[in-house]
Structure 1
Amino acid sequence: MRERLIQKLEQINKWRMQKISNRNFLIVCAFLVGIVGGLAAALLKGMTHFIAALLQDDIEWHFKYSLYLIFPLVGIFLSVLYVRKFMPGKKMEHGITPIIYAISRKSSRISPKNIYSQIITAAITVGSGGSSGLEAPIAFSGSAIGSNIGRLFGLSYKEVTMLLACGAAAGISGAFNSPIAGMIFAIEILLTEFSIPAFIPLLISSALAAVISRILYSEPLFHTAATDWEVKSIFFYILLAGLVGLYSVYFSKISNVVKNWFANIKNPYNKVWFSGISLGIMIFLFPALYGEGYITIQQMLDGHFNAIVKNSLFAEYRELAWVVVCYTVLTLFAKSFASLFTINGGGNGGVFGPSLVMGGLIGFAFAFGVNQTGFIQLNVPNFVMAGMAGALAGIMHAPLTSIFLIAEITGGYTLMVPLMLVSSISYLINRGVMKHSIYTKVLAESGDLISYEDKDRTVLSMMKLRYVLETNFVVLRPTETPLDRQSDIIHSKRNIFPIVDEKGKLVGIIYSERLFSILLGEEDGRDKTFAVLAQKPNDIILENEHMDVVMSKMNKEDVWILPVVNGDDHYLGFISKSSVFNKYRSLLIRQGQYLE
């Protein structure tokens, strides 16, 4: 049955290639990706809110505190269990980083399992109270949809990459009902170098996803009536931008610390216990940490400024303004740990949503606190929205996405100037301290990040050593002599010979010029073994080294060819500048076609 399906698909694809150009077919695929991406976004939101309602509705309030200790732990446990049972030998990838890695190092290939696994695990995690966001999982699921549709129809790398970005745009658009922000997200985060024609497929996918999502799940993310900003408050928007920028630096740094904590816990179920119990305690103290946290932000936008304290252990002090401010600040810092514990403990989700919530909390605490001084009265909801934009811009290094996302989901187009100001300043502060965003830092450190600021390094990072490894060399043994291998040496087309022992370890190398000199009697050594004649190579290349390191070694030693060994010093072959330059040229051509 499967073989017949594959044959039928191949026949359809052959007919398609004869009748429809790839450029036009890409538009058709963008329609398909948009529709499926919109369905996936609606499904994820519906599943998450169904699970949340199932766990919370019809439960007496005095029991909820106790259940808050259990629900997040159960959600993370079920997510880990799903991965270990239904994705054997694999771990759940989450966030935007794996999408960027797929573009950089995996020819934009994403496993089809991520289409549904991201939705299932994210719905379980967040619906059960995990303090993370749904946006990264749905962007990941959408990217997997686009990648696999492109591969299904045998499209090229640049076309598959475009459909992957269309899927991510569709996911963000469907999650937020914000087609412009979805498109800009794909361009700003995934397609960092693009041309005008790239807009068309992205627009189609993003718009269709928003339509489909709105039809199936029409409830908007936020309800607000933004009022115009006042010139006299512009100084306070600048102060807010500075605070948000500094906090985004703190969050970027603390994310690495938490990640290292959990990396030291080898047993995945121990991670579940530690993160689940810790998260339950934090939610017990700060109920606003339960789930995404958007309900708390909506209450602030509605003017219910003491709602964050209302259902907590400190509810009796909710009328004291400074208690509200201090409690909000504590909730803010707790949110950073809660979201990171959820993700690193085994739950699925991203920091996209938590960034919005943390930014909103900063904006609220700042504006509400300033109002208590009596010096000036600031519009608190406006500052909540500006804080959301600033946090997203700083943490993700995506100022345009943050501006248009907040403007779309809140209807706050009247706040464009404050949004632009806060987002840009926050972004510049974070970028000044953290060269890379929270998504790209790990990839940059491992050399797996495409950077269009350094095209040579970018192309080299796309190159895999095994594709330029040359193995057609005559191998000499340490116990042999030049006379023993005279015929092989004379007829060899290579000018270098590896000397390898019986265990496969590289002993040394010897060049043809010296061997010919010995065989012609110009140099003594015809009866000497290769163990004696071997010379140490200028340097060696390890099989897992990146190509920019390889070229650095070659340039440092001013050599054209170097031997390659594995971790046990076993000889694998040679790598030459000629093979690297040939591969470099082919990749440069492909990169040039990336988004034509």
Structure 2
Amino acid sequence: MPRRIPQLIYRLNQWRMHKISNRNFLVILAVVVGIVGGLAAALLKGLTHWIAASLQDDVQWQYKYYLYLFFPLIGILLSVLYVRRFIRRGTFEHGMTPIIYAISRKSSRIQSHNIYSQIITSALTVGFGGSSGLEAPIAYSGSAIGANAGRFFGLNYREVTMLLACGAAAGIAGAFNSPVAGMIFAIEILLPEFSIPAFIPLLMAAATASVVSRLIYSEPLFHLVTDDWEFRALLFYLLLAAIVGLFSIYFAKASSWVKRAFDRINNPYQRVGLGGMSLGLLIFLFPALYGEGYLAIQRILDGRMDSLLANSIFAEYSHIGLLVVVYAVVTVFAKSLASLITISSGGNGGVFGPSLVMGGLLGFAFAYGVNLTGLIELNVANFVVAGMAAALAGIMHAPLTAIFLIAEITGGYALMVPLMLVTALSYLINRAVLKYSIYTKGLAEQGDLLTHEDKDRTVLSMMKLRYVLERNFTVLRPDEKPVDRRHDIIHTKRNIFPVVDNDGKLLGIIYSERLFEILLGENPEKADRTMRELAEKPVDIVQMDTNMESVMQKMNREDIWILPVVDAGGNYMGFVSKSAVFNKYRALLMRQGAYLE
């Protein structure tokens, strides 16, 4: 029976290739991916909120302060234990960066366990109070659904990449009930260059996921219909955008600091302990940091301006307006630290959700603080919404996603002009200092980021030296003489010979012209010389771990067509030539140009 299943799948795939065009089949698969992605999003939201509700119901508030110290630790520990116990053969990663890396470097391959492991670990992390978002895990899960569906049906790299993006779009659309934002998110973050046909599968996947998720889990993220914006408040929107833009720079830098700090801790359980206790202490002081943090934003949108302090140890001071503003600002920085600690210590989550919360709190603190001055009366809810959009645009470098996501989840279409302004300004401020987003910075530093601003460097960065290494060269030994290898030298198709000792060390190279002169009697005085004596030092040598951009720089600098390659110990590995590099370059360029046609 097991043998007949692959045969049945093969026959089914053969039938569909003859009956259905790839373009139409891709749309059908996009709908299927959308359905499964919507189910996954509903499952993740429902499971996370069930865990959080189970921990919080029927517990008196005065005792919750102490429980908060331990809940996040338990959640992160359970997440780490799950990964170490059940994901032994694969690797487990979180966030959007691995998805982008999979597109750039791994032919859009994502291990299938991510379909469910992302849901389980993020539900445990966030449900127990981890201060991160569910959006990155569900986008990862959706990407795994799309990528593995494409590989199951034997689709090519371009089509698998499109389905991967459809899965991510479905996850975001299902998580927020925002199909337009899901589609734009996939385009801005995962598909930096796209053609019009790419819209169709993305639209189908995002819309389907949104419908399915809404049928199963219909609770909206926010309950709000924003008011129209006023012209006199326009300058304040711009000021808020500048503040949020500067904060987004701080957050990106803080992300690197926190990650490096936790990376120094080799023992995973020590990371869990330190992170869990630190997070518990932060939540004890700032209860709004528990979980995603959307509840705190909703209370502010409902007009409960003192809600941030209501359940904290500072609750008795909630009537002091200035203290509310200060507490909100401190909560923003505490949220940034809490979300980064959650992720770096072993929990699973993303910075998508925390970005919304931090931006919303900055918008609240700004508008509420201005109102306290009595100079002007700003609509606090509108500025909360604008702050959310500005933070998302600055931190993620995704202004279009920010505009349409916020408009969809808050009903803030009346604020379209302020949203466009704050997202553009925040993005420009962040981009002026940081060329890459929080998702792509690490990949860019490693040379693993596929970009379209410099195609030559991008394509070269996609190459690995081992894939263009040529080994079909006649190897000469140092004690041999030209006459000893007469037959091999004459019949070789190469014009260069490596001289390698018995230990595999490269001693030098000899060009065929020099050997032919000796064998033809034109240089009889050198006929008795050994290969060691005849060998010459190469112009340069390439180490096996050298990136291809450096290899091409060496070749161009020395104006040479071919270079020997050795490993770290100086052992001969082969040669790299411009011909092989150019052939690989053309193949990758064609693939890169085709993956979004």
| TM-score of the aligned structures, taking structure 2 as reference length | 0.98
Which residue is equivalent to 1:295?
A: 295
Larger deviation, residues 66-75 vs 172-181: 66-75
Q: Are 2:172 and 2:178, in contact at CA under 8 Å, matched by a contact in 1? A: yes
**Aligned mates of 1:592, 1:214 — CA distance in 2:** 36
**Aligned mates of 1:84, 1:285 — CA distance in 2:** 32
Q: Are 1:245 and 1:426, in contact at CA under 8 Å, matched by a contact in 2? A: yes
Larger deviation, residues 223-232 vs 552-561: 552-561
Which residue is equivalent to 2:421?
A: 421
Cα deviations across residues 197-246 of structure 1 (Å, max 9, x unaligned)? Answer: 11000000000000000000000001112000100000000000000000
Amino acid at match of 2:187: I
Amino acid at match of 1:490: I
TM superposition shift of 1:16? 0.8
Amino acid at match of 2:260: N
Q: Are 2:104 and 2:448, in contact at CA under 8 Å, matched by a contact in 1? A: yes
TM superposition shift of 1:379? 0.5
Q: Secondary structure at the match of 1:78?
A: helix
TM superposition shift of 1:90? 4.5
Q: Secondary structure at the match of 2:133?
A: coil
Which residue is equivalent to 2:394?
A: 394
Q: Are 2:90 and 2:111, in contact at CA under 8 Å, matched by a contact in 1? A: no
Which residue is equivalent to 1:540?
A: 541
TM superposition shift of 1:475? 1.0
Cα pair distance change 1:430/1:60, threshold 3 Å: same
Residues 547-562 of structure 1 correspond to what in structure 2 (within 5 A)?
A: 547-562=548-563
Amino acid at match of 2:196: I
1:17 lines up with 2:43 in the alignment: no
Amino acid at match of 1:530: M
TM superposition shift of 1:4? 2.3
Which residue is equivalent to 1:149?
A: 149
Amino acid at match of 2:143: S
Moved over 4 A (4+): none
Amino acid at match of 1:581: F
**Aligned mates of 1:380, 1:536 — CA distance in 2:** 73
Coordinate RMSD, CA, aligned: 1.2
Amino acid at match of 1:63: Y
Give the number of equivalent residue pairs.
Answer: 596
Which residue is equivalent to 2:309?
A: 309
Which residue is equivalent to 2:324?
A: 324
Which residue is equivalent to 2:592?
A: 591
Q: Structure 1 regions of 5+ residues with no counterpart? A: none
Which residue is equivalent to 1:465?
A: 465
Cα deviations across residues 28-67 of structure 1 (Å, max 9, x unaligned)? Answer: 1111110000001001101111111111111122221111
1:531 lines up with 2:532 in the alignment: yes
Q: Are 1:170 and 1:206, in contact at CA under 8 Å, matched by a contact in 2? A: yes
Which residue is equivalent to 2:174?
A: 174
Cα deviations across residues 434-490 of structure 1 (Å, max 9, x unaligned)? Answer: 000000111111111111111112222222322222111111122322232222111
**Aligned mates of 1:269, 1:335 — CA distance in 2:** 23
TM superposition shift of 1:515? 1.8
Which residue is equivalent to 1:580?
A: 581
Amino acid at match of 2:43: L
Which residue is equivalent to 1:213?
A: 213
**Aligned mates of 2:174, 2:155 — CA distance in 1:** 25
Q: Are 2:563 and 2:576, in contact at CA under 8 Å, matched by a contact in 1? A: yes
Q: Percent same amino acid at aligned positions? A: 70
Which residue is equivalent to 1:201?
A: 201
1:273 lines up with 2:273 in the alignment: yes
Q: Are 1:403 and 1:420, in contact at CA under 8 Å, matched by a contact in 2? A: yes
TM superposition shift of 1:520? 3.1
Q: Secondary structure at the match of 1:485?
A: helix
Amino acid at match of 2:471: T
**Aligned mates of 1:298, 1:505 — CA distance in 2:** 68
**Aligned mates of 1:375, 1:164 — CA distance in 2:** 51
| TM-score of the aligned structures, taking structure 1 as reference length | 0.98
**Aligned mates of 1:424, 1:3 — CA distance in 2:** 56
Cα deviations across residues 92-135 of structure 1 (Å, max 9, x unaligned)? Answer: 21111111111111111111111111111010001011111000
Cα deviations across residues 263-316 of structure 1 (Å, max 9, x unaligned)? Answer: 111111111111111111111111111110000011111111110011111111
Amino acid at match of 1:541: V
**Aligned mates of 1:295, 1:592 — CA distance in 2:** 44
**Aligned mates of 1:545, 1:11 — CA distance in 2:** 45
**Aligned mates of 1:315, 1:503 — CA distance in 2:** 75
Which residue is equivalent to 1:406?
A: 406
Amino acid at match of 2:225: A
Which residue is equivalent to 2:508?
A: 508
Q: Are 1:84 and 1:91, in contact at CA under 8 Å, matched by a contact in 2? A: no
Residues 486-525 of structure 1 correspond to what in structure 2 (within 5 A)?
A: 486-523=486-523, 524-525=525-526
**Aligned mates of 1:78, 1:480 — CA distance in 2:** 64
Which residue is equivalent to 2:190?
A: 190
TM superposition shift of 1:500? 1.8
**Aligned mates of 1:461, 1:147 — CA distance in 2:** 23
Which residue is equivalent to 2:65?
A: 65
Q: Are 1:393 and 1:427, in contact at CA under 8 Å, matched by a contact in 2? A: yes
TM superposition shift of 1:89? 5.3
Q: Are 2:245 and 2:394, in contact at CA under 8 Å, matched by a contact in 1? A: yes
